[in-house]
């Protein structure tokens, strides 16, 4: 049945979130809803709770800077798109906070993610990406992009920034993977969050005992903020958890899905290979097109009117970046992947006070990974039919694919 009829009369509301049927396209049901009902529609969450779903670019930008829309995950009535996300929402640091608390924490970590700091790190990110691509070449085909390139690059990068020993990567990758795994129950996700917390507790303990601080952000937080008493141990641990969690899964997924998408668009790939200077805009377009951080969650703290929609205090509001970034009023021919588009007003990193802290870092990794992969392995191709590449289900949080087998 078309989604149109589903929301009228007493018919059940459509589900949110919905499944992608192609790894790089938004769920088709969102388009039906936007065309039938406009940029803000009604839907139903997994637990039966009704929600507003924002699908239009202009309304999303208006709402994401509206302080009446709260990100306070600590509220008992804060909505969740899946049981697994409900568990993660216990980690409220930064992303699950409102002002002024949010800014107070964000201020302390932002210098480690600035444009300047990322530029300084660019060379080592590029070197690491090169080593990983060379290792793939040396090992010979077939290879797998997520585990062979994307995940080691993103984990290594965030470890360097935070001062987490890279030797521990397998452990925290496993816990983070469980946190975003679609099959994870609320208990699984809670267990993984506890493990991640224990990991940070012992790391903070170790750092406190080191006579000289290392160069990572956690070293600064331990030896300065914790030592001065301006942050508690719990706060340092919570900052470590969110940064470690947000820092690698997203970027790894974006590198893997970008590789797949480029291989599926040979004309665009040829242009990408021909002009390494165009990698910046190309990455921006891939971010818009793929929008892997698809669901932003909010709750109305007060009544809000947007257009002809009245959102009442206590209502759930979910924003779908994937559909928002395909809004024809914001992007010409939005469904066309056009690496030369040069549009930077997409919402793939969110908008407003919660806009992604790691966006410069993610861009640098994407640029290096994709340019080196396609220049050093010019014959790169999928090792399985495209239809066999398995898509993560709708509720996985970070959109993506489980693995990407390639050959050359
Ligand atoms: C916030 C996407 C990489 C850390 C966000 C938000 C989005 C997003 C959409 C806003 C969520 C909201 O408004 O509720 C992405 C994508 C990435 C990526 C698509 C990769 C391509 C990273 C990296 C880090 C990071 C590398 C590094 C630590 C964070 C943090 C927040 C955030 C801490 C919360 C910021 C706040 O609330 O002030 N990200 N992210 N992300 N991201 Fe990213």
Distance 191 CA to ligand 1 centre (A): 23
Q: Does residue 255's CB lie within 6 angstroms of at least one atom of ligand 1?
A: no
Res. 206 pLDDT band, cuts 50 70 90: very high
Q: Does residue 279's CB lie within 6 angstroms of at least one atom of ligand 1?
A: no
Cα gap 162→401, rounded to integer Å:
27
150 vs 86, which has greater pLDDT? 150
Geometric angle at alpha carbon 310, from 63 and 335, rounded to 5°? 50
- Distance between alpha carbon 294 and the CA centroid of its chain, in Å? 8
Cα gap 375→377, rounded to integer Å:
6
What pLDDT sits at residue 10? 64
Distance 357 CA to ligand 1 centre (A): 6
Any bridge partners for residue 223, and if so which? none
Cα gap 331→335, rounded to integer Å:
9
Q: Taking a C-beta distance cutoff of 8 angstroms, is the pair 34, 59 a contact?
A: no
Q: Does residue 358's CB lie within 6 angstroms of at least one atom of ligand 1?
A: yes
Helices 266-274, 233-263: axis angle to 10 degrees equals: 110
Scored b (16 or more CB within 10 A) or e, 365-402 reads bbbbbbbbbbeebeebebeeeeeebebbebbbbbbbbe
Q: Please state the φ and ψ torsions of residue 54, each to the nearest 5 degrees.
A: -95, 125
| Helices of type H across 212-308 | 217-220, 227-228, 233-263, 266-274, 279-290
Q: Does residue 238's CB lie within 6 angstroms of at least one atom of ligand 1?
A: no
Cα gap 224→217, rounded to integer Å:
10
Of ligand 1's listed atoms, the one at least distance from the Cα of 97 is 37
Q: Which residues contact 209 (CB under 8 A, 6 or more apart)?
A: none
Cα gap 105→110, rounded to integer Å:
9
**SS3 call for 65:** coil
Q: Taking a C-beta distance cutoff of 8 angstroms, is the pair 26, 20 a contact?
A: yes
Q: Does residue 251's CB lie within 6 angstroms of at least one atom of ligand 1?
A: yes
What pLDDT sits at residue 181? 66
Res. 363 pLDDT band, cuts 50 70 90: very high
Tens of pLDDT, residues 269-292:
999 999 988 999 999 999 999 999
What pLDDT sits at residue 316? 98
Nearest-CA residue for atom 34 of ligand 1 = 95
Geometric angle at alpha carbon 95, from 190 and 300, rounded to 5°? 100
pLDDT at 55 over 70: yes
How confident is the model over 179-199, as a mean pLDDT? 82
The mean predicted confidence, pLDDT, of the chain is 92
Cα gap 44→182, rounded to integer Å:
19
Nearest-CA residue for atom 19 of ligand 1 = 293
Res. 4 pLDDT band, cuts 50 70 90: very low
List, as one string, the DSSP characters of 331-396: SSSTTS--TT-------TT--GGG--TTHHHHHHHHHHHHHHHHHH-TT-EESS-GGGSPBPPGGG
Cα gap 123→357, rounded to integer Å:
20
pLDDT at 358 over 50: yes
How confident is the model over 46-52, as a mean pLDDT? 96
What is the best residue among 244, 246, 291 to mutate for testing ligand 1's pocket, by most ligand atoms within 8 Å of CB?
246
Q: Which of 5-9, 70-74, 233-237 has the lowest mean pLDDT?
A: 5-9
How confident is the model over 77-91, as a mean pLDDT? 84
Share of the chain above pLDDT 90, in %: 78
Share of the chain above pLDDT 70, in %: 96
Res. 396 pLDDT band, cuts 50 70 90: low
How confident is the model over 69-87, as a mean pLDDT? 90
Tens of pLDDT, residues 284-324:
999 999 999 999 999 999 999 999 999 999 999 999 999 99
Scored b (16 or more CB within 10 A) or e, 268-287 reads bbeebeeeeebbebbbbbbb
Distance 1 CA to ligand 1 centre (A): 35
Which secondary structure element, helix H or strand E, spans residue 79, and what is its range? none
Q: Taking a C-beta distance cutoff of 8 angstroms, is the pair 186, 84 a contact?
A: yes
What is the best residue among 109, 288, 358 to mutate for testing ligand 1's pocket, by most ligand atoms within 8 Å of CB?
358
Cα gap 107→223, rounded to integer Å:
17
Res. 7 pLDDT band, cuts 50 70 90: very low
Of ligand 1's listed atoms, the one at least distance from the Cα of 96 is 37
68 vs 120, which has greater pLDDT? 68
Distance 251 CA to ligand 1 centre (A): 10
C-alpha gyration radius of the chain: 21
Of ligand 1's listed atoms, the one at least distance from the Cα of 161 is 28
Distance 221 CA to ligand 1 centre (A): 20
- For 17: left if phi > 0, alpha if psi spans -120 to 50, otherwise beta; the answer is beta
What pLDDT sits at residue 189? 82
Q: Does residue 94's CB lie within 6 angstroms of at least one atom of ligand 1?
A: yes
């Amino acid at each position: 049945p078309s989604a149109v009829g589903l929301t009228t009369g007493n018919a059940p509301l459509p589900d949110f979130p919905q499944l992608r049927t192609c790894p790089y396209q938004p769920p088709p049901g969102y388009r039906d809803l936007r065309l039938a009902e406009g940029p803000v529609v009604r839907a139903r969450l997994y637990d039966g709770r009704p929600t507003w779903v924002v699908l239009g670019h202009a309304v999303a930008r208006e709402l994401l800077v509206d302080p009446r829309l709260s990100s306070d995950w600590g509220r008992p009535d804060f909505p969740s798109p899946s049981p697994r996300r409900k568990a993660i929402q216990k980690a409220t640091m930064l992303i699950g906070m409102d002002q002024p608390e949010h800014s107070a924490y964000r201020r302390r970590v932002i210098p480690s993610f600035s444009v300047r700091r990322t530029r300084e790190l660019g060379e080592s990110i590029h070197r690491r990406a090169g080593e990983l691509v060379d290792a793939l070449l040396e090992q010979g085909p077939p290879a797998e992009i997520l585990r062979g390139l994307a995940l080691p690059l993103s984990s290594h990068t965030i470890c360097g920034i935070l001062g987490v020993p890279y030797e521990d990567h397998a452990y925290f990758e496993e816990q983070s993977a469980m946190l975003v795994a679609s099959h994870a129950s609320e208990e699984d996700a809670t267990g993984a969050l506890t493990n991640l917390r224990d990991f940070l507790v012992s790391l903070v303990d170790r750092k406190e005992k080191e006579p000289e601080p290392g160069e990572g952000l956690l070293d600064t937080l331990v030896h300065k903020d914790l030592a001065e008493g301006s942050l508690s141990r719990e706060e340092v641990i919570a900052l470590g958890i969110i940064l470690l969690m947000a820092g690698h899964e997203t970027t790894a997924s974006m590198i893997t899905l970008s590789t797949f998408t480029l291989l599926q668009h040979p004309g665009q790939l040829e242009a990408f290979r021909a002009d390494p200077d165009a990698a910046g805009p190309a990455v921006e377009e891939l971010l818009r097109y793929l929008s892997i951080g698809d669901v932003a969650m909010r709750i109305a703290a007060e009544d809000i009117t947007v257009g002809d929609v009245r959102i009442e205090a206590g209502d759930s509001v979910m924003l779908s970046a994937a559909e928002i970034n395909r809004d024809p009023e914001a992007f010409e021919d939005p469904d066309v992947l056009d690496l030369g588009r040069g549009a930077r007003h997409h919402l793939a990193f969110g908008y407003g006070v919660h806009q992604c802290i790691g966006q410069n870092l993610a861009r640098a990794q994407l640029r290096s990974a994709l340019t080196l992969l396609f220049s050093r392995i010019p014959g790169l191709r999928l090792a399985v039919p495209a239809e066999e590449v398995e898509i993560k289900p709708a509720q996985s949080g970070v959109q993506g694919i489980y693995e990407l087998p390639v050959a050359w």
